[in-house]
Structure 1
Amino acid sequence: MTASPLPETLPATRLPRSVWSQALRDGRRALISWSVGTALVGAMYASFYPQIGGSMGDLTKSLPEGLKQAFNMEDLGSAAGYLGSTPFGVVIPLLALFHGASTGARAVAGDEESGYLDLLLAHPVGRVRLVLQRYAALATGSGAIAVAVLLMMLAIRGPADLGTVSVAEFTAQCLDLALLSAFFGALALCIGCFVGRRALVFGATAAVGVVTYALNSFGPQIGLGWTRHLSPFHYYLGGEPLKHGFQWADAGLTAAACVVLAGLGAWAFQRRDIGV
């Protein structure tokens, strides 16, 4: 018997037609964890409203006006005021910040550091397509987390005495939540396209998030009220969607910022020498 001849070339690892779908498939476990964890944490804090909502409303009457404005505590006695101050005002948006920062840092910079980016770009996929579809997957994940939070809030709406907040108002707030996470994801991805170092990207994005949160909360208290308009947190919560429903202008500005950052990142990555 004679051995079968070896092929002249080994078949290359096939890249899926959609970088977007592959990114979602690769990150599905992390996305499920983020979605379930964020929804459960939000539900835990929201469920405290029947026990502490009224008492907190009385307590905050004695607090300085500046402190109440900084932490959105003017109306803790109502369901919308309580939700806007605690779960949707602090805990959930900070989780959205860290989801966007970690996922955006991994989207390009993480693969570049690990060497996986070389394998991806060895296939017939352009750099711009890679960046934009990776960002589309990140934005899809941000939307999935927001949907999980929305479904959880609707599930506990009756038992937690949150019925004064309508379904549309919950939906409006969760839309802004998705855009907030997508914004920080776009920022992280953009920085990663310039520098290609995951830890640096995550740290820089988290630092921007903390600083802009402080600007939104404390800027007006020190005579710098105009700085609030530089913060994505202002466009996330400033229009009080839990009370007033959809804030299309704020949502549109955040979405436009996401598009600009993703586009800038794609432009930079297309022109940067990464040795491939």
Structure 2
Amino acid sequence: MPNVLTKTLWDSRRGLAGFALGTALVGAMYASFYPQIADGAMEQAVEGFSPALREALNMEDIASAAGYLGSSVFGILVPLIAVIYGIATGTRAIAGDEEAGYLDLLLSHPVSRTRLVLHRLGALAIGSFTLAAVVLLAMLAVRTGARLDTITIAQFAAQCVALGLLATLFGTIAITVGAATGSRATALASSTVLGVLCYAADTVAPQIGADGARYLSPFHYYIGNQPLRNGFQWIDLGILLATIIVLGALAVVSFNRRDLAS
């Protein structure tokens, strides 16, 4: 392969295809249930939820297409799989190769540490947005049959762009921790725990009076302002992108400063 970026994408093609197709199929399957939800099948199930819990889970308007997809498909299922993809990819990117002994071989070629990190970050971003694009195509494929026409193509695209950034962000966290420590287990554990805490900050914290905590969570900027209703939220997308850039810079700095022989 001509460079690290294309080599990384080629080596991960099967895993990416599996994640993308799996995420799209899960999303399309649950989106197809919307006609039953619209007919009132779900309203009775959530009637016993408190107003605060319904708000936290985006179930205030479960009968609408945007409300249903925002609470289930894009609120829980699809981002969960996408974040798992990002973390798994980011964990392998630096720490995985280092523990496998492949990193020394790679760096013996004319490849700088900075270039290696940036190319791995680029491969992560391309993979994440490929996954998001496949999800978008799946949503558009079932849109008419599942009575989701009230959501425009642009609104679906806005949510899927946010999905790509969310997966890239958590993958970048894993890359940054892996670049700083060289430990795959540490990168996996820290990014996973942080993902759980961030999700809790966006959903559970408001229930205990810590409303401000949600603004520290990437999940808030992913779906908090409801792209499925309001389209592209440029400030939210900018915050996610800026966080990725900052974390990527930290990954480059920490990897360049670390003694790989230790």
Q: TM-score, normalised by structure 1?
A: 0.92
Residue number in structure 2 paired with 1:8: none
Q: Are residue 17 (structure 1) and residue 17 (structure 2) matched? A: no
Residue number in structure 1 paired with 2:257: 271
Please give the alpha-carbon distance, in whole angstroms, between the structure 2 residues aligned to 1:22 and 1:33: 18
Q: Are residue 169 (structure 1) and residue 155 (structure 2) matched? A: yes
Q: Are residue 225 (structure 1) and residue 211 (structure 2) matched? A: yes
Unaligned runs of 5+ in 2: none
Residue number in structure 1 paired with 2:21: 36
Please give the alpha-carbon distance, in whole angstroms, between the structure 1 residues aligned to 2:45 and 2:247: 42
Unaligned runs of 5+ in 1: 1-15
Residue number in structure 1 paired with 2:51: 65
Q: Secondary structure at the match of 1:74?
A: coil
Q: Compute the displacement of 1:198 (Å).
A: 1.0
Q: Compute the displacement of 1:59 (Å).
A: 4.1
Q: Are residue 55 (structure 1) and residue 41 (structure 2) matched? A: yes
CA offset digits 1:210-240 (Å, max 9, x no partner): 1110110011111100000000000000110
Q: Compute the displacement of 1:57 (Å).
A: 3.0
Q: Compute the displacement of 1:204 (Å).
A: 1.1
Q: Are residue 211 (structure 1) and residue 208 (structure 2) matched? A: no
**Equivalences for residues 18-167 of structure 1 within 5 A:** 18-53=3-38, 54-167=40-153
Q: What is the number of residues matched between the two proteins? A: 261
Please give the alpha-carbon distance, in whole angstroms, between the structure 1 residues aligned to 2:203 and 2:53: 9
Please give the alpha-carbon distance, in whole angstroms, between the structure 2 residues aligned to 1:134 and 1:59: 44
Q: Secondary structure at the match of 1:211?
A: helix
Please give the alpha-carbon distance, in whole angstroms, between the structure 2 residues aligned to 1:113 and 1:19: 18
CA offset digits 1:1-47 (Å, max 9, x no partner): xxxxxxxxxxxxxxx43211111001000000010000001111111
Q: Secondary structure at the match of 2:204?
A: helix
| Aligned residues: CA RMSD | 1.1
Q: Are residue 187 (structure 1) and residue 177 (structure 2) matched? A: no
Kindly indicate whether the alpha-carbon contact (under 8 Å) linking 1:216 and 1:227 is maintained by their aligned counterparts in 2: yes
Q: Which runs of 4+ in 1 moved over 6 A?
A: none
Please give the alpha-carbon distance, in whole angstroms, between the structure 2 residues aligned to 1:248 and 1:57: 32
Please give the alpha-carbon distance, in whole angstroms, between the structure 2 residues aligned to 1:217 and 1:132: 33
Aligned residue identity for 2:17 = I
Please give the alpha-carbon distance, in whole angstroms, between the structure 2 residues aligned to 1:111 and 1:222: 42
Q: Are residue 236 (structure 1) and residue 239 (structure 2) matched? A: no
